[in-house]
Amino acid sequence: MKEKIKVGFYGVSGCSGCLLTVLYEDCFKELVKMVDIKSFPFIKEDSYKGKFDYCFIEGTVCFDEDIVTINELRKRSDKVVALGSCACFGCVPSIRNFHNQEKIMSFVYPKYNHLKEVDPTPIGDHIKVDYYLPQCPPDKKEILEFVKCILTGREFKSYTSPVCFECRKKGNPCLLEEGKICLGPITNGGCGALCPSNDTTCYGCRGPCKDANYEAFFKMLKEMGHTNKEIKDKLETFAGLAFKEEEGESSKWLER
Ligand code: SF4
Ligand code: SF4
Ligand code: SF4
196 Cα nearest atom in ligand 3? 1
Among 202, 205, 206, 224, the mutation site with the greatest number of ligand 2 atoms within 8 A of its Cβ is: 202
Q: What is the pLDDT along the chain (256 residues), one digit of tens a residue?
A: 678 999 999 999 999 999 999 998 799 999 999 999 999 998 877 788 899 999 999 999 999 999 999 999 999 999 999 999 999 999 999 998 888 877 777 777 665 567 788 999 999 999 999 999 999 999 999 999 999 999 999 999 989 899 999 999 999 999 999 999 999 999 999 999 999 999 999 999 999 998 899 889 999 999 999 998 999 999 999 999 999 998 876 556 666 5
CA angle 105, 60, 72 (to 5 degrees): 120
Whole-angstrom distance, CA of residue 176 vs CA of residue 193? 14
195 Cα nearest atom in ligand 2? 3
Among 88, 135, 164, 174, the mutation site with the greatest number of ligand 3 atoms within 8 A of its Cβ is: 135
Q: From ligand 3's centre to the CA of 36, what distance in Å? A: 31
Among 168, 191, 236, the mutation site with the greatest number of ligand 3 atoms within 8 A of its Cβ is: 191
Question: Which ligand lies nearest to the CA atom of residue 165 in the structure?
Answer: 2
Judging by DSSP bridges, how do beta strands 61-63 and 117-121 pair with one another?
antiparallel
Question: Which ligand lies nearest to the CA atom of residue 166 in the structure?
Answer: 2
Q: Is 202's C-beta closer than 6 angstroms to any atom of ligand 2?
A: yes
pLDDT at residue 89, as a whole number: 97
Could you write out the three-class secondary structure of 161-194? CEHHHHHHHHCCCCCCCCCCCCCHHHEECCCCCC
Domain ranges for the chain, please list them.
6-152, 163-255
| Nearest CA owner, ligand 3 atom 8 | 205
Whole-angstrom distance, CA of residue 146 vs CA of residue 158? 10
92 Cα nearest atom in ligand 1? 7
187 Cα nearest atom in ligand 3? 7
Q: Is 91's C-beta closer than 6 angstroms to any atom of ligand 3?
A: no
Q: Which pTM does this prediction carry?
A: 0.93
CATH number of 6-152: 3.40.50.700
Phi, psi for residue 241 in degrees, rounded to 5: -65, -40
Q: Under DSSP, is residue 52 helix (H, G, I), strand (E, B) or coil?
A: strand
136 Cα nearest atom in ligand 1? 2
CA angle 26, 30, 31 (to 5 degrees): 115
